[in-house]
Amino acid sequence: MATVNVTDASFKSDVLDADKPVLVDFWADWCGPCKMIAPALEEISDELAGQVTIAKMDIMENPDVPGKLGVQGIPFLVLFKDGQPAASLTGARPKSALKAWLEGVL
């Protein structure tokens, strides 16, 4: 399962109303660290497909949701469970650290 792209318009249905946890990666095309973790998130998405959905939201194309959540630095990862933010992480990490953090908060 690949990551899914989320927009301001689809955020409620794709993330808040989802039937399983959703990890949202807030990113931008100009962000080097965002590009560094993208392949790791794709792999984690496949490895944890039954447990969590990994979603990506481009903050430049979709400013409303990041603004409401107070996103100030990217990459910014937020795990939503039952429509609520359950955990967050700012900055790039190696795949092993990202996966360990995610598994720990799931």
Which residues are catalytically annotated?
Answer: 31, 34
Question: 57 in helix, strand or coil?
Answer: strand
Distance between CA atoms of 1 and 76, rounded to whole angstroms?
Answer: 21
Helices (H) and strands (E) in the chain, counts: 4, 5
Please name every residue paired with 5 in a beta bridge, in sequence order, or none if there are none.
56
